Amino acid sequence: MQKEATIREGTYVAVKIRVAEEDNDREHRELNVMKKLASIHPRSPHVMHVVDDFDLEGPNGTHHCLVFELLGPSVPDMIDARFSDGRLPGKLAKTIAKQVVSGLEFLHQEKIGHGDLHTRNLAFTILSMDNVPDKEFIETLGKPEIGHVHRSDGKALEPGIPEYVVRPAGTHSWPLSNIIKIVDFGESFLQQTVPQTLHTPLTVRAPEVIFGDHLDYRVDLWSLGCLLFELFVGQPPFDSFLITPKILVDQMLEMTSEALPERWLGLWEAMGGGVGAESSGPGLQEWLEDMYFDGERREDLTGEDIAKLGQIIRKLLRFEPSARASASEILNDPWFRD
């Protein structure tokens, strides 16, 4: 992998250590995407930078490790830590949304699909901590919380099993900027190596994944529509409680007011689905307005703003991938240029 030319000695980084000797399609796809991202110049300011990779020998074999720039908390973690009403201020949500669309435009122009786009894979950047002494940096992280590993039957651990695990450190108290980056490329793929399926969280999963149809980068566009809804409202458009693929598709039919493509109807009937939406739940615009103007939380966007946001999301939540607006089209929408 081409190394990051600007990395300096003394710079803090993050390291992803893979399972030893794991050799599967997802691992190969991620590594190929990381190699391509490392070779692109100029890079997007809204996509995580990979700076190096190396192998590490351990008791379980060889671990391939990826080195990334150090980033801060995810959007949901930041909301939990700093916003008591459970969602971002509207202006900040719009700023973040525009950055996400810009980062996704960059990936798609480079023929890269992310495959796992949701709010937990958006991270705030931190202001430079490279001049912070190691001791102070560790104090900022806080004392590590360790939990010892035990077998449920009380027997000794097998060789290669870690003796303890460490709770992830919180980063929401770090000095942060309002710049975010798309992270976690574990489901990503290049145009020439499209997977047969993806493990995107069900509530943001594109319908073609559910129906086992041909996949391409446009799965990200459906996920982007769900992500934009959540950024402004504080929860995804589709209810995650006791969710199943069949229940999710029912919600999709209600939300979009579209009919399923004919090629999916046989599988839909096998799932127990009917000809169309079976209930009279709210459509996209009504649901978006009900959730944003709920009378209990901060409302710093106007009804016109939410109407325009709904129009943008509707362009993305289309059953036919070819009917979805591209990231470039969304980025050029007048609402994002205001």
Q: Which residue in 137, 158, 169, 162 sits closest to 147, CA to CA?
A: 162
pLDDT of residue 4: 53
pLDDT of residue 23: 61
pLDDT of residue 168: 80
CATH architecture of the domain formed by 13-337: Orthogonal Bundle (1.10)
Q: Are strands 71-74 and 122-126 parallel, antiparallel or unpaired?
A: antiparallel
* Cis amide bond preceding 42, omega within 30: yes
DSSP state letters, 289-333: HHHHS-SSS---S-HHHHHHHHHHHHHH--SSGGGSPPHHHHHTS
pLDDT of residue 277: 47
Q: What is the pLDDT along the chain (338 residues), one digit of tens a residue?
A: 655 545 566 788 889 888 876 667 788 899 899 999 989 988 899 999 988 888 898 888 888 888 999 899 999 999 998 888 889 999 999 999 999 999 999 999 999 999 999 999 999 998 877 777 888 877 777 778 899 999 888 888 888 788 888 888 777 677 788 999 999 999 999 999 999 999 999 999 999 999 999 999 999 999 999 999 999 999 999 987 878 999 999 999 999 999 999 999 999 999 988 755 455 667 899 999 999 998 788 889 999 999 999 999 999 999 999 999 999 999 999 999 87
pLDDT of residue 280: 60
| 179: its two tokens | 């710049």
pLDDT of residue 331: 97
* Residues written for the chain: 338
Is the pTM higher than 0.75? The answer reads yes
pLDDT of residue 27: 83
pLDDT of residue 234: 93
Distance linking the first and last C-alpha atoms of the chain:
40
